[in-house]
Amino acid sequence: KQEVTQIPAALSVPEGENLVLNCSFTDSAIYNLQWFRQDPGKGLTSLLLIQSSQREQTSGRLNASLDKSSGRSTLYIAASQPGDSATYLCAGLDNYGQNFVFGPGTRLSVLP
């Protein structure tokens, strides 16, 4: 059974710092991967989707990469802002299934 871990579980940084969130899968056969943010008590907002033929995606201050050989993904956030404070979740679709398996999330606090 595919399992996903996210490190760190929580992170607190001062405004302006660059930071990296990590996501790893027990089965490295990942078809594609999606990063989400979730504000407290709300639904998930899609940030980036890395398709099967891709290795990374960028949107504004966000960059996500996927190393299929190791089953690891990183989300890089540049010049963090207090508005970035949220929980960030990764979800991967394996080559054998048709649904995403989610990690538990990293809770990010960006202090002004």
Q: Is there a contact between 9 and 89 (Cβ–Cβ < 8 Å)?
A: no
110 CB burial (10 A radius; 0-12, 13-18, 19+): buried
Other CB atoms within a 10 A radius of the CB of residue 91 amount to 20
Q: How far is CA 59 from the centre of its chain?
A: 13
For residue 4, give the H/E element and its range: strand 4-7
Give the range of 12-20, 30-38, 61-69, 78-86 binding other proteins by CB under 8 A.
30-38
For other proteins, the closer of residues 75 and 89 by Cβ is 89
44 counts as binding other proteins under rule CB under 8 A: yes
Give the range of 13-21, 31-39, 60-68, 72-80 binding other proteins by CB under 8 A.
31-39
How many residues bind other proteins (CB under 8 A)? The answer is: 24
Residues that bind other proteins (CB under 8 A): 4, 31-32, 34, 36, 41-46, 49, 51-52, 89, 91, 93, 98-100, 102-105
